[in-house]
A and B are shown apart, each in its own frame.
Chain A
Amino acid sequence: MSATTLQMLLDELGYDEKTVGTALNQEFVRARDRAETRLREGDAVEIVTPRQGG
């Protein structure tokens, strides 16, 4: 991965950004903050999408 921001990572992975939720190190990152959210070595990124649930 060459992405340096969360937005770049989503683009690289080909996600439709309207249907994903993101978190960095267990903290929610709003869609509008992804472009300014820089990624560092060892960061835990969560990218989630809608799924069946009970």
Chain B
Amino acid sequence: MNDPVTLYDRALASRLLLGTARYSSPAILAEAIRASGCEIVTVSLRREAGGARAGETFWSLIRDVGVRVLPNTAGCRTAKEAIATAQMAREVFATDWIKLEVIGEEDTLQPDVFGLVEAARALADDGFKVFPYTTDDLVVAEKLLDAGCRVLMPWAAPIGSGRGVNNAFALRALRAHFPDTPLIVDAGLGAPSHAALVMEMGYDAVLLNTAVSRAGDPVLMARAFALAIEAGRAGFRAQPMTPRDMAEPSTPIIGRPFDRLA
């Protein structure tokens, strides 16, 4: 495996994690997963409506595609709700991985970072491998690591907004401050160029959902993101040149025709 990323106990060739929500059909979802080349997809737990048995059908589709799942605690508003949801997810999905979300505000779906740290500590103590969905706040990131998280997932912009990176300075600061912690940008990306940008910053991976599922052609967009992430990662590893204010000729000066010889 060339240039893998290791998230907890798992080395992954793909640096794209894909959400499974809001696709127009299960077939498009399955195709998008394959086109993205991702090895991890996010899933959730919900109540069944009436006598429907949608859960079993969906779970069977994901198992058929053959990817690993990262269950989330989406929609939880307190640490207590998130902890109980994580425990149910561990049993249902048979994994100790959990994407931890504790939502503090409805308009922006901004994480409640206090509840997040509390839930992260309880879950890490209980043996979970916690992937916390957090803001770009550096002090919160410190607290999450102290709570036992070994991966951090800061937002780029609010969930589903497609805005791209709202605060490049904060994301760069996080990367510089935690050089050895796997950092995954989760939420807010809309276009492949957004993903390439964060990968060029040195982020380890990207988690996407709406940008792919709500694209005009989700399967093609899944592929586009995969290429952008690969390109951005290679660009980071290749160490981009330092920008300068003034021009610098790229063609050699010496030997220019019509130059007067002094």
State whether the Cβ of B245 lies closer than 8 Å to any Cβ in chain A. no
Do A51 and B87 touch across chains, with their CB atoms under 8 A apart?
A: no
Instruction: Report chain B residues within 8 Å CB of A54.
Output: 19-22, 42, 44, 72, 74, 159-160, 209-210
A19 and B42 contacting across the interface, CB-CB below 8 Å:
no
Residue pair A52, B88 in contact (C-beta under 8 Å): no
Number of residues of chain A lying within 8 A (CB) of chain B? 21
Whether B21 pairs with A21 at a CB distance below 8 angstroms is no
Chain A residue at minimum C-beta to C-beta distance from B83: A28
Return the contact of A52 from the options B22, B47, B48, B56 (Cβ within 8 A): B22
A-B residue pairs, 5 tightest by C-beta? A49-B55, A53-B44, A21-B88, A54-B19, A54-B209
List A contacts of B45 (CB < 8 A). 21, 48-51
Closest chain A residue to B72, Cβ basis: A53
Contact yes or no, B19 A28, CB < 8 A: no
Q: Which residues of A contact B93 (CB under 8 A)?
A: 50
Contact-size category for B: 35 or more
Interface residues of A in 17-54 (CB under 8 A from B): 19-23, 26-28, 30-31, 46-54
Give B96 Cβ to nearest chain A Cβ, in Å. 14
How many Å from the CB of B40 to the closest CB on chain A? 12
Which residues of B are interface residues toward A (Cβ below 8 A)? 19-23, 29, 42-48, 51, 53-56, 58-59, 62, 71-72, 74, 80-81, 83-85, 87-89, 91-93, 159-160, 209-210
Q: How far is the CB of A24 from chain B (nearest CB, A)?
A: 9
For the complex formed, measure the closest distance between the CB of A37 and the CB atoms of chain B, giving whole angstroms. Answer: 14
Q: Min CB distance, B57 to chain A, in Å?
A: 9
Cβ contacts under 8 Å, A47 to chain B = 47-48
Specify which of A26, A31, A51 is in contact with B80 (CB 8 Å cutoff): A26
Q: Which of A14, A20, A26, A53 contacts B92 (CB 8 A)?
A: A20
Query: Which of B81, B83, B89 contacts A21 (CB under 8 A)?
Result: B89
Mark A residues whose CB is within 8 Å of B: 14, 16, 19-23, 26-28, 30-31, 46-54
B48 adjacent to A50 (CB under 8 Å): no
B residues less than 8 Å from A53 (CB atoms):
19-21, 42-44, 71-72, 74
> Given A49-B46, A50-B62, A51-B44: A16 and B56 within 8 A (CB)?
yes
CB distance from B253 to the nearest CB of A (A): 54
- Structural contact, A28 and B23, CB atoms closer than 8 A: no
Find the B residue at minimum CB distance from A19: B56
A26 x B84 contact (CB < 8 A): yes
Q: Which of B51, B54, B85 contacts A49 (CB 8 A)?
A: B54
Asked if B23 and A27 make an inter-chain contact with CB atoms under 8 angstroms apart, the answer reads no
Residues of chain B within 8 A of A30, CB atoms compared: 91
Contact check, A28 vs B21: say whether CB atoms are below 8 A apart. no
Q: How many whole Å from B93's CB to the nearest CB in chain A?
A: 7
Q: Do B58 and A51 touch across chains, with their CB atoms under 8 A apart?
A: yes
What are some 28 contacts across the A-B interface (CB < 8 A)? Answer: A16-B56, A19-B55, A21-B87, A21-B88, A26-B80, A26-B81, A26-B84, A27-B84, A28-B84, A46-B84, A48-B45, A48-B55, A48-B85, A48-B88, A48-B92, A49-B48, A49-B55, A49-B92, A50-B44, A50-B62, A50-B92, A52-B21, A52-B23, A52-B43, A53-B42, A53-B43, A53-B71, A54-B160
